Structure 1
């Protein structure tokens, strides 16, 4: 769907990180965790391209207008890194943006009787909150959250309110364990029994580490990739990654926007 969304709220949750809530049509309530939205930042040539953002949350609240019934909303979590996100950070309640949503494939929620392991790095937690919201209705969920410093650790309270057991690691030790969150996650996986599935989103080096852990331990794993996108629908081929069968003689490429952004880790070529 393409629609105009009114901004309901837009606030800074940590230095340089913002959480934006926007109005949405009721049909968006059927969006799957892991899908994303494409945002046209403003009605002007600059910036020209839409920006992709993972769906952080979808829900309904009472409308501010009397007699209008529940209002569906969609939320995104973003970091100010360039002109587009800097412009978004200046918007307030009542401003409007143009959205395409929902796009891409989502996570497979899997067997409700197994433990779900979520691992995210920095802004990579964006699609994991909505996923956790769905998973806790049927499974035990643990969340491993990493960042360079404490300022990169986002929304811990929100996950804990869902009933998710949360673990934190920072590179500099300013919050939680010192070191890589993937090391903390691997220790848990090797020390626990029973079936489980890993769900991961974050920077590529972190996802490569997660894929290696999944391969070594035999634990199923789904990853959500971050990529620059121009169209969001597979037409421009600007966000391709190498599939597992890729070689110079036989290219195998997957579009992050259309084939993903969620992939089983063994569908991709990591080295």
Structure 2
């Protein structure tokens, strides 16, 4: 659905990373973890295209003044990387945005009688919070958050408040372990008793590594891809990713915005 959202808050939560809350229609309460929105950052021609953002959280906001009516909201995390996101960071409370969503296919919650292992980095944590919020209702959940520096580790306190056990790793050692977050994931898998499912979102290199680990150990793994999108509804085909049977002779592409952004890792072609 397309709607006009009013910004309720827009704050920098770490250098270069922002968290925005905005009003949403009542139907947004049923948004699935892993779905996303397409946001037009202003009404001008430039920038022309909407920007895709994962849904970080949904809920109900009650204004402070007396007699106020509760208002559904959605939240998104974003990183300032270009003109569009720089414009977003300059917006303030009561500014308006044109939003399309929720879009795409979200995560499958899987079997409740198994451990859930969530792996994310940077703004890849955006769709994983709502996922964790749902998973903890029925399953033990562990989060493995990685980044180059401590500035790339976002919203850990929010995950901990859900009851999620959190592990952090940074490449420079400024927070948590020094190294890659996949190393902590491997240790947990070595100690695992019983079944588990892995959920991941983040840089392609991290997803490639996580998918390889899951394949080697025969563990179900769902990944959320961060594709470049122009429309969000499958019309432009600008966000396609190679499927596992893809080759030059037999092309096999998956449309990230409509068939994803969440895929079983075995559906996709990864680097060797």
The TM tier, using the shorter chain, reads over 0.9
2:185 corresponds to: 185
1:175 corresponds to: 175
Q: What's the CA shift for 1:127?
A: 0.3
CA offset digits 1:116-162 (Å, max 9, x no partner): 00000111100000100111111110000000001111101010001
CA offset digits 1:90-114 (Å, max 9, x no partner): 1111001000010000000011111
Q: What's the CA shift for 1:227?
A: 1.1
What is the distance in 2 between the residues matched to 1:266 and 1:64? 48
1:41 corresponds to: 41
Q: What's the CA shift for 1:268?
A: 0.3
Report how many aligned residue pairs link the two structures.
271
Once the two structures are overlaid, the 10-residue window that deviates more, 200-209 or 183-192, is 183-192
Q: What's the CA shift for 1:61?
A: 2.2
Secondary structure, counterpart of 1:258 in structure 2:
helix
CA offset digits 1:233-267 (Å, max 9, x no partner): 11000000100111112110001101100000000
Secondary structure, counterpart of 2:198 in structure 1:
strand
2:206 corresponds to: 206
RMSD between superposed Cα atoms in Å: 0.9
CA offset digits 1:200-253 (Å, max 9, x no partner): 000000000000000111110000000110000110000001001111121100
Matched, 1:142 2:142: yes
What is the distance in 1 between the residues matched to 2:245 and 2:53? 28
Q: What's the CA shift for 1:192?
A: 1.4
2:165 corresponds to: 165
2:107 corresponds to: 107
Listed as ranges, the gaps of 5+ residues in structure 1 are none
Change over 3 Å in CA distance of 1:37–1:65 after alignment to 2: farther
CA offset digits 1:28-58 (Å, max 9, x no partner): 1110000000000000000010000000000
2:88 corresponds to: 88
What is the distance in 2 between the residues matched to 1:24 and 1:150? 32
What is the distance in 1 between the residues matched to 2:66 and 2:33? 31
1:251 corresponds to: 251
What is the distance in 2 between the residues matched to 1:71 and 1:64? 12
What is the distance in 2 between the residues matched to 1:254 and 1:60? 35
Q: What's the CA shift for 1:65?
A: 6.1
What is the distance in 1 between the residues matched to 2:232 and 2:64? 32
